[in-house]
Amino acid sequence: MGFEDCEGGVLKAQDTAVELYKLAALMLGDEGEALNLVESTVAEVEVDPCAPEDGAVDAARHHLIEAAVARMNQADPGAFAVPAPVDGPVSCIEDDDLSAAGISATQIAELVNGAANVAGSGNRLRTRLDELPLAQRAIFVQRAVLGWDNEATAASLANGVGTQPGWSAAQVGESFRQALCSLANALVHSEAERVTA
């Protein structure tokens, strides 16, 4: 493979490292821990920057998310306990589509891109995520930011926490809807405050 082909791969690897850092910062809420997690992920997952397929990048995402869940669980061992079944709806929306909560995929992308500048004013999503329970935060990042489905998210929680039986896809969906409601309400209130200020 020629250097020209590999140069594009190196840029892809740099973009992947930035993406992993954003994900880690959203999950952990701490820049230093996020950087350490990205470094350990890059060291543990072999990613060939010249390889054409995205399989290694996806493996790095999964590794990072599961390691972040493990760290979050270690910091608060009860945070990822499987929730007890509830009777009736407990969230403000009936399905776990972003638009049902009044949040567009574009808004999420803008908020995530702003989260890269964690010290600046673009960290509204990070601030709001820090207010969520840890399990909801982890589920939100996987579902809304990465676009994983409920089953993949449930599997990553089980792998990160190391418990079986773990979360069901239905429990992940309900927790995601709760997170969407909380974030939508917080974003609406912050926007209203910004407009009236």
Taking the C-alpha atoms of residue 183 and residue 192, their distance in angstroms, rounded to an integer, is 14
Mean pLDDT on 21-40? 94
Is 26 within 8 Å of 145 (Cβ atoms)?
A: yes
What percent of the chain lies above the pLDDT cut of 70? Answer: 66
Considering Cα of 12, then 62, then 154, then 80, what sign does the dihedral take?
Answer: negative
* pLDDT-derived band at 102, boundaries 50, 70, 90: low
Q: How far is CA 56 from the centre of its chain?
A: 18
Q: What is the mean pLDDT of the chain?
A: 78
Give the containing element (helix H, strand E) for 79: none
- In terms of Cα–Cα distance, which of 189, 188, 148 is closest to 176? 148
Taking the C-alpha atoms of residue 101 and residue 193, their distance in angstroms, rounded to an integer, is 19
* pLDDT-derived band at 36, boundaries 50, 70, 90: very high
Per-domain boundaries in the chain: 3-196
Q: Provide CB contacts within 8 A for 183, sequence distance 6+.
A: 101, 103, 125, 128, 129, 132, 140
Considering Cα of 149, then 167, then 169, then 88, what sign does the dihedral take?
Answer: negative
Is 123 within 8 Å of 115 (Cβ atoms)?
A: yes
In this predicted structure, the answer to whether residue 118 has a pLDDT above a threshold of 60 is no
Taking the C-alpha atoms of residue 62 and residue 159, their distance in angstroms, rounded to an integer, is 10
What percent of the chain lies above the pLDDT cut of 90? Answer: 41
Q: Omega of the bond prior to 165 within 30 degrees of 0, cis?
A: yes
- Extract the tokens encoding 32: 């230093």
Across 4-8, 34-38, 90-94, 177-181, the highest mean pLDDT is recorded for 34-38
Residue ranges of E strands in the chain: none
Higher-scoring residue by pLDDT: 91, 3: 91
Taking the C-alpha atoms of residue 161 and residue 91, their distance in angstroms, rounded to an integer, is 25
